[in-house]
Amino acid sequence: MDRKTQTKQKILDAALTVFARDGYELASTNAIYQLAGVSKGVIFKYFKSKSDLFLAIFERELQALLQEFDSLDFNASSDPMERIEALILWKIDFANRHKEATALLSEGVSNPPKELAARIRDQLGDLNKMSIERFFGEIDMDKIKPEFSKADVLRNLQIAASGLQAVYVTGHPNFSFSEASRAECLRYMRFVYRGMEKES
């Protein structure tokens, strides 16, 4: 890695820490250059503005998340509940292993800086591959009660999955994953899914 690349990497790493800790609005380029151990002018040599720096680190962390997702095989089981469980537990595990990245990505997705909203939205297309709809679009509707459409099933599963992520990630930033929490996640998702299934 050449010196230019190393310097840029140091700036991005420092930006990740500062943006994750302070949020975009309160993050200071002074704090970033001090943490990176470079002069303020060096930051603006590589990034035209604070928003360009945020976008660069957002894109880097988003790609890291998607690369890890693409390396996993969630289709090992034909049971949709086991696949839902695997996806949710991976997301929780990723969030706990990458707390700063998760904080930054969460802000970029849910509350992007106004000047970056359109550019970030363009980056989010690949996240569709992690959606319940894409992941479990082949659910066998013959097993589902007639009052539920496929859209209803997928929406209910998405709401349930989002709720679990909010409880374990947003609600408990220092959460450590355990077998008990794994069992709780699966029990809850089964409860939601079974509530939509026909009685056998």
CB burial of residue 83 (10 Å; 0-12, 13-18, 19+): middle
**CA nearest to 4, candidates 39, 45, 40, 64:** 45
pTM of the model: 0.73
Instruction: Write out the chain's pLDDT in tens, 200 residues.
Output: 688 889 999 999 999 999 999 999 999 999 999 999 999 889 999 999 999 999 999 999 999 998 898 888 776 666 767 777 777 778 878 888 999 999 999 888 888 889 998 888 887 766 766 667 666 667 778 889 999 998 898 888 888 877 776 776 555 545 555 667 777 877 888 889 889 998 87
**Which residues, in sequence order, are CB contacts of 119 under 8 Å at separation 6+?**
55
Task: Give the bridge partners for 197, in sequence order.
Answer: 144
| Torsion angle defined by CA atoms of residues 53, 19, 99 and 132, in that order, rounded to the nearest 10 degrees | -70
CA dist., res. 196 & res. 194, Å (int): 5
